[in-house]
Amino acid sequence: MTDLAAIARSGPASTAVDLAGLTVEALAALVVELGGKPFQGRQLFRWIHRRGVIDLDAMTDLPKDLRARLAEQAVVRTPEVVRRDVSSDGTTKLLLRLDDGREIEAVFIPDTPSQTFCISTQVGCAMKCVFCLTGTMGLARHLSASEIAGQIRVLARELGFLDRPFNVVLMGMGEPLHNYDATMAALRLIGSADGLHVSPRRVTLSTVGLVPGLDRLAGEDYMPNLAISLHATTEAQRDALVPINRKYSLSDLMAACRRFPLKKRSRITFEYVLLDGVNDTAEDARRLVRLMNGLRAKVNLLPLNAATGIPFGRPADQRVDAFAQILANAHITVSVRKSRGRDIRAACGQLVVDNNN
Beta strands in 178-323 (DSSP E): 203-207, 225-229, 268-274, 297-303
Closest C-alpha among 166, 267, 167, 174 to residue 213: 174
Contact 141, 126 (CB under 8 A): no
Give the DSSP letter string of 7-29. Answer: HT-SSS--SSEEGGG--HHHHHH
350 neighbors 342 (Cβ within 8 angstroms): yes
What is the rounded distance in angstroms from the CA atom of residue 52 to the CA atom of residue 104? 20
Who contacts 236 (Cβ-Cβ below 8 Å, separation ≥6)? Answer: none
The CA distance from 49 to 43, in Å, is 10
Beta bridge partners of 108: 92, 117
Q: Does residue 125 contact residue 174 with C-beta atoms inside 8 Å?
A: yes
Q: Which of 105, 147, 175, 271 is catalytic?
A: 105
* Active-site choice (125, 132, 257, 348): 348
Residue 218 backbone phi and psi in degrees, to 5: -60, -20
In one-letter notation, the amino acid at residue 20 is: A
Task: State yes or no: is 257 an active-site residue.
Answer: no
Instruction: Give the separation between CA 116 and CA 354, rounded to whole angstroms.
Output: 25
User: Residue 72: in which H helix or E strand, if any?
Assistant: helix 64-73
Q: Which residues are catalytic?
A: 105, 348
